[in-house]
Amino acid sequence: MVNPTSDFVAALRERLAIIGDENSRRDPDKHIARLKEISDRINNLAAALPKPIDPQLAHFLQRKSYDKALELLEGRTASTKITKLN
């Protein structure tokens, strides 16, 4: 089963991993290509998110504030899990 939101969160996490990959940065051309590829994937996945998109999330996506978008989505997931446990 495809879950656009979880795929989107996974892509945001992958972006952070690429940014922090010291080995990748040793080859700037390859590093930039990897970042472009993940950015394209993030844009495609963002377009596939269920509508309507949360206004705060839309704001973060419009400004390419991917770290904040990830925090918002992970916080939402954590609070959903806590609510289900109670």
pLDDT in tens, 9-56: 999 999 999 999 999 999 999 999 999 999 999 999 999 999 999 999
In the prediction, which pLDDT does 77 show?
54
In the prediction, which pLDDT does 84 show?
42
Task: Quote the number of domains for the chain.
Answer: 1
Q: What tens digit of pLDDT does each residue of 66-81 get?
A: 999 999 999 875 544 4
Task: Find the domain containing 14 and state its range.
Answer: 4-85
- Between the alpha carbon of residue 14 and those of residues 21, 31, 33, 45, 70, the distances in Å are 10, 13, 14, 13, 11
In the prediction, which pLDDT does 30 show?
96
- 85 pLDDT band, cuts 50/70/90, is very low
